[in-house]
A and B are shown apart, each in its own frame.
Chain A
């Protein structure tokens, strides 16, 4: 297969950036998309040119490090991660446009690499259960209904790749945040911090500059792990419950500040 690649090149965060067109020949349909980029990069290095920077690590669809907006879709035409996308999804002679994730909270580091540490900061705001090592009781002391555990698991399979943000017309991180809020809210272990967790995580999401959710559902449609938008509904429910129903004598905002 012969392909034309139109790739976003940007030297660093301060560079304006531009598209550069490359030709790649000898593309095998069995190659993964990233292997196709490897081949391009090898040829660039041989020519003494700067290879295209892109994030990747496990290349088996679980670490969430690979990204890329390929021909107008996050992770390309299939509902999977870019590392699991294979060239048989394209045709000989195709032109492929490759862009980085676009969102203000995901600034470009170089070329197709973006900084997703905003996601880490959202988790830091409350995406955990406060339990110190060694203080846990026996694992079977609290039975959890199988369905609930599996619902929590489904939400917990989020790989934090950011495709939901990339797909959303508002660059909203709601699906990512909702997946974590749901995962922990569904489990009895997560119950004690339920209210404060959703409050703080939503506040951090806003502070990072992500857009708001318009319930278009594009995030679910493009999520490589198929995280459901029902989690967004659950986040909304948790949020309203936290703000209007939760019975604590102090507003959560004060609790969050440690007052």
Chain B
């Protein structure tokens, strides 16, 4: 095996992949959230639709988005490999296990939380991204230019109670996932020091809460506003 393959297929190497892709996805989450918060502007969706148009046509963004999908897949596939390996490492389970005080709930359930997020992603992509790419989105005209009216699609989707609930639940899961993942990624990179551990932990939790709330309020506000 080549050294890079051996490195990346070792248990520590796979964790490095998880951490690297995780960090990238965190960046994506930040960018995506700041874009989506434009949905809350009271302009009938103009700015959001223009932003969506820009994102859909900028070659750089398109390249990054391919990278993004790749990293999501890499994150998911690696996690599946690791989860299988981890579960094989204990073929006979404990009859009684009271480990709840020894670690956080989120840290023990990253796979479960990740699965919720993944299912959500499928629903989310089917709802918006698929429609955006393959039709089904009405057009709207600003200053004589035709734009896809994604805003209306979003608005209509978020009028359905169940979709709002699915989104809120998924964002809570994302928050928990990040609350462990953020800190864990740092440790996987060996960044651990008394001097800044508290900061990383605090930042991770603050970030997780902010992301979860930031995303979750979008469907909720739209639901109540329209």
Q: What is the interface of chain A, defined by CB distance below 8 A to chain B? A: 6, 8, 19, 69, 71-73, 97, 99, 102-105, 167, 169-172, 202-203, 205-206, 209-218, 221-222, 229-230, 232-240, 243-244, 251-253
Contact = CB atoms under 8 A, between A and B. Distances in A.
A233 B187 contact: yes
B90 A102 contact: yes
A103 B102 contact: no
Contacts of B87: 211
A122 B110 CA distance: 28
B11 A103 contact: no
Interface in B180-226: 180, 183-184, 187-193
**Majority secondary structure of chain A interface residues (helix, strand, loop or mixed):** mixed
A102 B87 CA distance: 11
A253 B12 CA distance: 15
Interface stretch (B42-50, B56-64, B92-100): B92-100
Contact of A213 (B6, B15, B104): B15
Contacts of A217: 102-104, 107
A6 B7 CA distance: 44
A94 to B, nearest CB: 13
A167 B88 contact: no
A251 B110 CA distance: 34
A170 B86 contact: yes
A32 B188 CA distance: 39
Nearest to B188: A236
Contact of B108 (A169, A238, A240): A169
B189 A206 contact: no
B10 A218 contact: no
Interface of B: 1, 3, 6-7, 10-16, 82, 85-99, 101-104, 107-108, 110, 180, 183-184, 187-193
Contacts, number: 142
Given A102-B90, A233-B190, A240-B190, A214 B95 contact: no
Contacts of A69: 94
Contacts of B183: 215
A103 B89 contact: yes
Contacts of B104: 216-217
Q: Which of B7, B89, B91, B192 has the largest count of A CB atoms less than 10 A from its CB? A: B89
Contacts of B16: 236, 240
Contacts of A211: 11, 85-90
Given A215-B183, A217-B107, 6 more contacts: A99-B95, A103-B90, A169-B108, A218-B108, A234-B192, A237-B189
Contacts of A237: 189-190
Nearest to B93: A102
Nearest to B1: A253
A239 to B, nearest CB: 5
Contacts of A167: 99, 102
A198 B92 CA distance: 29
A212 B187 contact: no
B180 A215 contact: yes
Contacts of B14: 212
A131 B97 CA distance: 43
Given A211-B86, A217-B103, A233-B187, A72 B192 contact: no
Given A69-B94, A205-B11, A212 B99 contact: no
A151 to B, nearest CB: 11
Contacts of A232: 187
Given A69-B94, A103-B89, A236 B82 contact: no
